Structure 1
Amino acid sequence: MLSAITIASRNTATRQLLSGSSKRSFASVVNNHAVTIDKKYKVVVVGAGPGGLSVASTISKLLGKDQVAIIDPAQYHYYQPLWTYVGGGLKDFKESQRPMASLIPEKADWVQDSVTKVEPDSNHVVLSDGTTVGYDYLVVAAGIQVNWDQIKGLKESLGKDGVTSNYSPESVQKTYQFLQNFKGGNALFSYPNSAIKCPGAPTKIVFLAEEIFRMNSVRDKANVIYNSFQEKLYGIDHYGEVIHRLARERSIVFNPRHELIEIQPNDRKAIFRIHNQEGEDELTTYDYDFLHAVPPQSPPAFIKESKLADPVNGFVDVDKYTLRHNKYKNVFSLGDCSNLPTGKTAAAITVESGVLKTNLIADLQGKKIKEAEYDGYASCPLVVGRKELVLAEFSGYTGKTLETFPMDQRKVSGFNAFINKEIIPSIYWNGLLTGRWTGPTEFRKLFNHFRSTPQ
């Protein structure tokens, strides 16, 4: 961890990097119009989440100083998979948070600002203050945009009177308090009508809450209701069948095709739109004593409005195997902001980062290779209790399992629960973010020798 003086010095240097005194202008001509580039890098990485830091760590070591920039305005970096445990009272929020300055690779420049526009035809991005940053290669790892305003009343209700969400760094710290204070009535949980990061997270908190109610001897007074826009509790049937069985055994009511559209906090009512398979949609209202809401999510606006966007869904349009943009060959993307048809999880990013770096490094070194290909690997550690976990590992492209351990990972496991809660966070901080961890593929190959049916 860097000292406060070091962090302050680095932040000062970052601000000076693009200040008037240190700007260097580069001329670029596009469609007969000159574009002034204030600062240019070999590689620009947009976003300092797990994907961006992993790529920037490896590439900056390769290229050296003044060659790689990371653009991100955030003061803190969060290990968001830990928020399930924070909300369930099993981890302290501080364990999920570190100063961003302490994680920026030593040889990369941190531009602490937001990208407002991407101009791939002229190889530059525009920052919120109007500064232009040029690149030879662009890596877009900007995450996903959380849209609290799309559910009427949610933003104003969040963190008050039993309304919470593990998708907010502020309200996740209220979740366990509200669960502990719950004395009975309706405990409502929602899943939105959109793509979301960590699609298993809304289900995990349902199971943790139900267990808390049992531990607090209020389960017989609680109606645990999970209203989801999705048809299923979990989309990969190999694991979903187990999750549905556990929900039935624990008397968790699952209502599919239910979309939360409004919260009325004064009356403690939640309004859902039911998407009927036949006929018109209808509205239904639930009273609540506790409500965990998951906000709709979307591509960041600057991506959706750019030429990088997939015209169908607005995420970055990349080849699903090589992670290279389908039109702009010097642009790559990974993680939640890409249109890769697999789970938007940190585990997926581990393998995505390895593929992307292999292909980008070959370009940087002028080598012709058979490009590395991503197999759609994703993982969701499905927490179903304080010491219970179903470890889902699969390809989002095929739906087939890609399990690491030589056992049936559908079985509820205390060992996997321990690994996920106590070991994986260390791999995240010290392996993924530093560029050294690119997923469990090699371990899977090793363990294949011990499987009855190799994958």
Structure 2
Amino acid sequence: MQITQHNARFASADQITPDDLVAIHAAGYRSIISNRPDGEGGDSQPTSQALRAAASQLGLQFAYLPVKPGQITADAVAQFAQLLVDLPGPVLAYCRSGNRATSLYQLAQQGAPAPVPAAAQSANAARAATAACAWEGETWDVVVIGGGTAGIAVTASLLRRQPNLKIAIVEPSDHHDYQPAWTLVGGGAYDVTKTRRPMASVMPAGVKWYRAAATRVEPDANVVQLDSGVRVAYRQLIVAPGLRLAWERIAGLTETLGKNGVTSNYRYDLAPYTWQLVQQLKGGTALFSQPGMPIKCAGAPQKAMYLACDHWRRQGVLGKINVEFNLAGAVLFGVATFVPPLMEYVKRYNANLAFSSNLVAVDGPARLATFEVKDANGNVTRVEKRFDMLHAVPPQVAPDFIRDSLLADEAGWCEVDHATLQHPRYANVFSLGDVCSAPNAKTGAAARKQAVIVAENLLAARAGAPLAYRYDGYGSCPLTVEKGKVVLAEFGYGGRLLPTFPLDPTRPRRLMWLLKASVLPSFYWWGMLKGREWLTRASRG
């Protein structure tokens, strides 16, 4: 529990538990307001009823005013303001991260009926907002949240177009990863150390690097709050922090990762362990899981299975291993065109597919994985499965500071127009990469195309010109079906095929393996991150 005191009468906090209430009561608080809808965080989230009952035993008042991420309405602000009048103070309001509770409080204090759409703000109002923060430091032309693939690529693209832009990047990590190669690492086909470089080595020259994490975005004030206490003011904002791997949503998984036969190619330190397990396994059961969408690189969970099976086949032990792929969804791949060639490999490897089977718990020492299995009528049962090796993929969500901000859509992602990638309510905000709400596949290839769209449209917005560039939903998933062959799936919105090469895209090819394993990593470091926009096909509307 992290409490932020705003004044003598009000404080906000992240999710509280019944056990926290004793300390809250001892600190002098007399009332609790819950702004987090029940069920938002799954089984681990205490219900408002449980908290109300525990609060009542301590003599604390309790009010339930649920607000969905990014959906603060005028009515919610009015109700919150009235609760502050009616409830005995001091009052503590909470949500997932504290951001929604804080936003409600600030809007109530301002007397604002609801967040003001940026499109309706005058230039004078925007200047006044940034001027109010001038004492906290320089106001940047552009602030980019995130130093990952999307953040670095779009910054490089902007500076190639306008080198005099004053840009700041907010990124806490001291290293930058080429994550697409981790699947190859897990299949024994790539050196993991070649996937990581110092963050300083990829930062575009001339940008300001805030080595801190963003904790809050205040789009009405044009300010980003950092965990260092610094408030960074901007004229335009690019939101590209990626997504969060929610390992904690699978009970017991965090405690057993990297041991007891439990691994995941979704982490730098675990991908080598995947290869170790694959080499060691000579018989038994190998389970592979895939959570509900959206996830980054939707093909990665099954690619781990294909490369493992190919190794076992070459070693002559595949017939002694029971391979099972558990998918939370109902299809093997989201673009139907590529399902038949993938099914050929599923059959070749004699792998069992378990659809609507979602991994929810892992007991590493006992080598047991628990899945929630949904039948055709929607009934859910829990099934335990023993394993010798488990490749687990965690659920994936937007970072909390975005989920609980005024920028979020109802699902918690940074809301954007799917074509222009501009925020629909805040005209000076753009987003790209895994965090944005566009319904494309969350891949590095998508970010490569999106970087051009955002760079062109952001500069057009700065100049007061129409946003002429349109994103077609392009994404690419090189499906490594065996060591040495790849099915290169390239597609856009609605599953429309968007192949780069004039070849049958459903055929596994050695050429595409060379592209995946050799060409793309070099292009990533020396091309994409440097603003070189080869084969972007950015289209004008």
TM-score, with length taken from structure 1: 0.87
Quick one: which amino acid aligns to residue 500 of structure 2?
T
Is 1:379 aligned to 2:476, yes or no? yes
Q: Which residue number in structure 1 is paired with residue 3 of structure 2? A: none
Quick one: which amino acid aligns to residue 52 of structure 1?
G
Q: Which residue number in structure 2 is paired with residue 333 of structure 1? A: 431
Q: Which residue number in structure 1 is paired with residue 144 of structure 2? A: 45
Q: Which residue number in structure 2 is paired with residue 227 of structure 1? A: 326
Aligned with 2:193: secondary structure? helix
Tell me, yes or no, if the aligned pair for 1:50 and 1:346 is still in contact at 8 Å.
Answer: yes
- The separation in 1 between residues aligned to 2:367 and 2:467, in whole angstroms, is 58
Is 1:388 aligned to 2:497, yes or no? no
Aligned with 1:282: secondary structure? strand
My pick for the range that moved more, 224-233 or 433-442, is: 433-442
Q: Which residue number in structure 1 is paired with residue 379 of structure 2? A: 280
Q: Which residue number in structure 2 is paired with residue 368 of structure 1? A: 465
- Cα separation, partners in 2 of 1:133 and 1:242, compared to 1, 3 Å: same
Tell me, yes or no, if the aligned pair for 2:142 and 2:165 is still in contact at 8 Å.
Answer: no
Is 1:205 aligned to 2:307, yes or no? no
- The separation in 1 between residues aligned to 2:145 and 2:131, in whole angstroms, is 27
- The separation in 2 between residues aligned to 1:66 and 1:246, in whole angstroms, is 50
Q: Which residue number in structure 2 is paired with residue 425 of structure 1? A: 521
Quick one: which amino acid aligns to residue 373 of structure 1?
R
Quick one: which amino acid aligns to residue 414 of structure 2?
V
Q: Which residue number in structure 1 is paired with residue 290 of structure 2? A: 191
Q: Number of paired residues?
A: 414
Q: Which residue number in structure 2 is paired with residue 181 of structure 1? A: 280
Quick one: which amino acid aligns to residue 376 of structure 1?
G
Deviation of 1:245 after TM superposition, in Å, equals 2.5
- Cα separation, partners in 2 of 1:314 and 1:86, compared to 1, 3 Å: same
- The separation in 2 between residues aligned to 1:369 and 1:279, in whole angstroms, is 47
Deviation of 1:325 after TM superposition, in Å, equals 0.3
- Cα separation, partners in 2 of 1:153 and 1:73, compared to 1, 3 Å: same
494, 509, 512: which is aligned to 1:398? Answer: 494
What is the RMSD computed on CA atoms of the aligned residues?
Answer: 2.0
Q: Which residue number in structure 2 is paired with residue 354 of structure 1? A: 452
Quick one: which amino acid aligns to residue 252 of structure 2?
G
Q: Any residues of structure 2 matched to 1:5-404 within 5 Å, and which?
A: 36-64=135-163, 67-311=166-410, 313-364=411-462, 366=463, 368-369=465-466, 371-395=468-492, 397-404=493-500
Tell me, yes or no, if the aligned pair for 1:36 and 1:132 is still in contact at 8 Å.
Answer: no
Quick one: which amino acid aligns to residue 486 of structure 2?
L
- The separation in 1 between residues aligned to 2:319 and 2:163, in whole angstroms, is 62
Aligned with 1:441: secondary structure? coil
Q: Which residue number in structure 1 is paired with residue 120 of structure 2? A: none
Deviation of 1:248 after TM superposition, in Å, equals 1.7
- Cα separation, partners in 2 of 1:319 and 1:377, compared to 1, 3 Å: same
- The separation in 2 between residues aligned to 1:362 and 1:34, in whole angstroms, is 25
- Cα separation, partners in 2 of 1:360 and 1:45, compared to 1, 3 Å: same
- The separation in 1 between residues aligned to 2:359 and 2:378, in whole angstroms, is 19
Tell me, yes or no, if the aligned pair for 2:420 and 2:453 is still in contact at 8 Å.
Answer: yes
Aligned with 2:469: secondary structure? coil
- Cα separation, partners in 2 of 1:405 and 1:279, compared to 1, 3 Å: closer
- The separation in 2 between residues aligned to 1:418 and 1:265, in whole angstroms, is 37
My pick for the range that moved more, 53-62 or 78-87, is: 53-62
- Cα separation, partners in 2 of 1:384 and 1:34, compared to 1, 3 Å: closer
- Cα separation, partners in 2 of 1:326 and 1:367, compared to 1, 3 Å: closer
**Partner deviation per Cα, 1:412-433 (whole Å, 9 max, x = no partner):** 1111111111101111111111
Deviation of 1:441 after TM superposition, in Å, equals 2.8
Tell me, yes or no, if the aligned pair for 1:151 and 1:260 is still in contact at 8 Å.
Answer: yes
My pick for the range that moved more, 431-440 or 130-139, is: 431-440
Deviation of 1:362 after TM superposition, in Å, equals 1.9
Deviation of 1:236 after TM superposition, in Å, equals 0.3
Structure 1 segments (4+ residues) deviating >4 Å: 27-36, 61-66
Deviation of 1:277 after TM superposition, in Å, equals 2.3
**Partner deviation per Cα, 1:241-297 (whole Å, 9 max, x = no partner):** 211222123211111000000111121010000022215200111110010000111
Unaligned runs of 5+ in 2: 1-125
- The separation in 2 between residues aligned to 1:31 and 1:322, in whole angstroms, is 25
Quick one: which amino acid aligns to residue 343 of structure 1?
A
- The separation in 2 between residues aligned to 1:167 and 1:146, in whole angstroms, is 9
Deviation of 1:31 after TM superposition, in Å, equals 13
Deviation of 1:404 after TM superposition, in Å, equals 1.0
Tell me, yes or no, if the aligned pair for 1:210 and 1:219 is still in contact at 8 Å.
Answer: yes
Quick one: which amino acid aligns to residue 380 of structure 1?
C
Q: Which residue number in structure 1 is paired with residue 531 of structure 2? A: 435
Deviation of 1:147 after TM superposition, in Å, equals 0.9
Unaligned runs of 5+ in 1: 1-26, 445-455
Deviation of 1:367 after TM superposition, in Å, equals 5.2
Deviation of 1:62 after TM superposition, in Å, equals 4.6
**Partner deviation per Cα, 1:291-346 (whole Å, 9 max, x = no partner):** 000011100000001000002x1000000000000100000000100001010000
Larger radius of gyration: 2
Deviation of 1:129 after TM superposition, in Å, equals 1.8
Tell me, yes or no, if the aligned pair for 1:65 and 1:107 is still in contact at 8 Å.
Answer: no
Identity value in percent: 38
Quick one: which amino acid aligns to residue 262 of structure 1?
A
- The separation in 2 between residues aligned to 1:408 and 1:32, in whole angstroms, is 56
Quick one: which amino acid aligns to residue 414 of structure 1?
R
**Partner deviation per Cα, 1:208-232 (whole Å, 9 max, x = no partner):** 0101111222111101100110211
- The separation in 2 between residues aligned to 1:32 and 1:61, in whole angstroms, is 28
Aligned with 2:530: secondary structure? coil
Tell me, yes or no, if the aligned pair for 2:250 and 2:362 is still in contact at 8 Å.
Answer: yes
